Structure 1
């Protein structure tokens, strides 16, 4: 079959996937498999070859990242039930103060908390952000909503073990330790700069509280809840026997809770150890240092398994075994859709590779004649605008680009990061994250378009700065 026919059939398959998801509301899992089957049959693989490509691609990506996704989500489920997120945000508020909390919260969410399933992380952290918002003044809601949106979405695609990052690394055959290191190099400055830019824009007249925020009576929240986020001593009432008694009672309760709850370092130590082991393996590989023990312990599956076992032990100590089992059951239910989506992304990538699209596009996307990373970003951005899901667009873009990566003359980690950056562009009305942020932060749809859609799009563009800078040295 001619190159032109393969290109046309590939374009038809991608458009069909988007139409099936957006117009006919077909489940993305089914749409991606149907698109892969059409491409294989139309491009001449035949029935047997198409089925082999679909099933082999699914199995290969599951072997690469299946256990990693499961272990990460299970760790996150236990940390959620240990109140790790609430306590971490309270600690950040005390350490950095209200003025810097948007940046601190965004960086923390985008890095250390990515083992927690996105919707769960959002539902837990949004009320905390909303409680902090009044202490930031007139634009508190705007600043906290933007920081939350940027941190959540960037973490998915740039930080291991974020589900998008795992899928991108697996589909493009990037070692997870390498992705972890370079992902952090990209995500930290991206989140800080994007949050700063949006804070400046929103506080210079673009945010209109009367139009962009829901009235208090429409949100079902009590502004007095702010006291749960760690009010400073100066904010507390003084004088009066009742107040004093209340203060003594609160202090007693806090001391009692401190005795029964583990220190934050204990909660997050297993996850931090796991990530450090993965990073150690990456550094050892760069230094060309080989040690059997280090190689074994730093392999991502073993490292995250160690993290999961450690988190289970912490949970068992402070929650009891029945509660840990309940948390693990919840985590398994959450991981099912993520695993299937990642698997069918591998199926699509295998079909695209089998029909020879990589060799064809390699003729036109060489590093000497094009800016290939910008093309990668654009493909992922267009897919996200059409589909509306960061994870689905990142996986689809990676599946499309995986066979092409060797032909670009670039390190695959750069292609993966560029696809991740593009998949962040224009989070909009078809995204579940959009509507959760709208309702949980008390924003109107107009306000959410500013904080979520524009905020994450700014981060998508800014992320290409460090990615292009890395391309100069890799």
Structure 2
């Protein structure tokens, strides 16, 4: 089969996935499998080869990252039920002061809080950001909204254990420790620079409160309520407003049934209304809440550093294995929460965690199916002839493909995985580090978060912004972060 036919059929398969999701509102999981089957049959893999690629790709990626995703989500559910976010925000405000709060929020949300399911994290943190906004000075509301949007979306794709970062590492075969270290190198300067750029724009007349803000509706802050009142600290269960969270993509990009563009009523995730009372939360030291998770991530990073240095030690090698490290983090978090709040809270958190992780695991698996089918079709050798590892072209193409897919589909995770799968076969052909492709795909998938995203509508309703205002803080802010990220990633290709 000619190279042209393979390239054309790959493009048709990816386009078909987009059309099925956007035009026909077909579930992303089913759409990705259809695209993989079409490509396998038209690329000459035959019936057996196509089925082997689809099922094998699904199984292979889940074998690599399935437990990691499950452990990460379960740990995040424990932290949510223990009131970790509210406690951490208070500590940040004390440590950083009002002026530094947008930057501290963006960095913290994009790093330390990425084990918490994104919709839950947003529904809990947005009202807290709204309370803090009047205290940080001029344009406090849009600055906090921008910091939240940038931190949430960047963390998903760059920071382990964010679901996008773990999925990208699985699709491309990137060691999780390497993804953790380089993701941290990229995400921190990206969110700081992007938040700084947006702060300058917002302070120089780009924000019009009369047109860009509105009274929140069903967002846990009653119309006319004092934004700094303790009564507005958290939303009521099931009252997120704006957009339904439903069962869309794990990053909050709504693309399947119930996730069409435009605002509508809907309930927030079940976990939102199940946290303990403020009195019980204050009994638990904040360091103990995050201690097990941070230790687990440090073990993963230590294992990666020692491996790169050629140092081997059986104990460190065992503890530094991502599955073991995150398992220890989960066990430690469970023990702390169980001792402080009882068995009932642990059981509720586990139930919520399993419910949240199911859709993430299936979506990640079918993303692996499409990536494996593309690889088996021989696209890597074809595209490899056009690039060399010493040029920026492959990384820029990954960024562009992911950006176009995200504009069409509206899901950060789906577009990142699909883009990475298209060019994953190129990496071994031209000697490009797979981790760079993972990071570039994540960066591109951040471009133009818009009205098809559940995150967009939650930010709009929970922070009392108009649609016009949310386009500025969320769509423009995260797009700036997308461009900043690829500019940070490109120099890494010279040293990685």
The corresponding residue for 2:407 is 385
Where in structure 2 are the equivalents of 1:37-56 lying within 5 Å? Answer: 37-56=37-56
Residue 226 of structure 1 aligns to a residue whose secondary structure is: coil
> What's the CA shift for 1:323?
1.4
Does the Cα contact within 8 Å between 2:216 and 2:463 map onto a contact in 1?
Answer: no
The corresponding residue for 1:371 is 393
Rounded Cα–Cα distance in structure 1 between residues aligned with 2:228 and 2:468: 25
The corresponding residue for 1:228 is 230
The corresponding residue for 1:4 is 4
Which of 304, 314, 318 is matched with 1:282 structurally?
A: 304
1:324 pairs with 2:346: yes
Bigger shift: 456-465 or 401-410?
Answer: 401-410
Bigger shift: 57-66 or 137-146?
Answer: 137-146
Q: String of CA shifts for 1:428-460, please: whole Å, max 9, x gaps.
A: 110111011010110111100000000000000
> What's the CA shift for 1:465?
2.2
The corresponding residue for 2:206 is 206
Q: String of CA shifts for 1:110-152, please: whole Å, max 9, x gaps.
A: 0000000110100010010011112234411110100000000
Structure 1: gaps spanning 5 or more residues: 232-255
By percentage of residues, which structure has more helix?
1
Which of 392, 402, 420 is matched with 2:424 structurally?
A: 402
Rounded Cα–Cα distance in structure 2 between residues aligned with 1:89 and 1:113: 11
Rounded Cα–Cα distance in structure 1 between residues aligned with 2:231 and 2:430: 49
**Residues 175, 259 of structure 1: alpha-carbon distance in 2 compared, 3 angstrom cutoff:** closer
> What's the CA shift for 1:217?
8.0
Where in structure 2 are the equivalents of 1:90-105 lying within 5 Å? Answer: 90-105=90-105
Rounded Cα–Cα distance in structure 1 between residues aligned with 2:427 and 2:478: 26
Residue 273 of structure 1 aligns to a residue whose secondary structure is: helix
> What's the CA shift for 1:189?
0.5
> What's the CA shift for 1:332?
0.3
Where in structure 2 are the equivalents of 1:184-195 lying within 5 Å? Answer: 184-195=184-195
Q: String of CA shifts for 1:286-345, please: whole Å, max 9, x gaps.
A: 110111111111000000000000000011011101210111000000001110110001
Which of 453, 475, 480 is matched with 1:453 structurally?
A: 475
> What's the CA shift for 1:260?
5.8
Does the Cα contact within 8 Å between 2:17 and 2:35 map onto a contact in 1?
Answer: yes
Q: String of CA shifts for 1:61-104, please: whole Å, max 9, x gaps.
A: 00000000000000000100100000000111111111110100
The corresponding residue for 2:257 is none
The corresponding residue for 1:80 is 80
> What's the CA shift for 1:202?
1.1
Where in structure 2 are the equivalents of 1:135-174 lying within 5 Å? Answer: 135-174=135-174
Q: String of CA shifts for 1:139-168, please: whole Å, max 9, x gaps.
A: 111101000000000000000000000011
Q: String of CA shifts for 1:258-286, please: whole Å, max 9, x gaps.
A: 89611110100000000000001011111
Where in structure 2 are the equivalents of 1:18-57 lying within 5 Å? Answer: 18-57=18-57
Instruction: State TM-score, norm by structure 2.
Output: 0.88
> What's the CA shift for 1:206?
0.7
The corresponding residue for 1:177 is 177
1:438 pairs with 2:460: yes
Instruction: State TM-score, norm by structure 1.
Output: 0.92
**Residues 149, 229 of structure 1: alpha-carbon distance in 2 compared, 3 angstrom cutoff:** farther
The corresponding residue for 1:346 is 368
**Residues 364, 106 of structure 1: alpha-carbon distance in 2 compared, 3 angstrom cutoff:** same
> What's the CA shift for 1:216?
6.4
Bigger shift: 212-221 or 389-398?
Answer: 212-221
> What's the CA shift for 1:44?
1.2
**Residues 53, 216 of structure 1: alpha-carbon distance in 2 compared, 3 angstrom cutoff:** closer
Bigger shift: 399-408 or 100-109?
Answer: 399-408
> What's the CA shift for 1:368?
4.8
> What's the CA shift for 1:346?
0.5
Rounded Cα–Cα distance in structure 2 between residues aligned with 1:391 and 1:263: 34
Which of 436, 440, 446 is matched with 1:424 structurally?
A: 446
Structure 2: gaps spanning 5 or more residues: 234-277
Does the Cα contact within 8 Å between 2:280 and 2:341 map onto a contact in 1?
Answer: no
Rounded Cα–Cα distance in structure 1 between residues aligned with 2:392 and 2:205: 40
The structure with more radius of gyration: 1
CA RMSD of aligned residues (A): 1.8
**Residues 379, 291 of structure 1: alpha-carbon distance in 2 compared, 3 angstrom cutoff:** same
Aligned length: 450
Rounded Cα–Cα distance in structure 1 between residues aligned with 2:390 and 2:306: 32
**Residues 114, 369 of structure 1: alpha-carbon distance in 2 compared, 3 angstrom cutoff:** closer
Does the Cα contact within 8 Å between 1:123 and 1:440 map onto a contact in 2?
Answer: yes
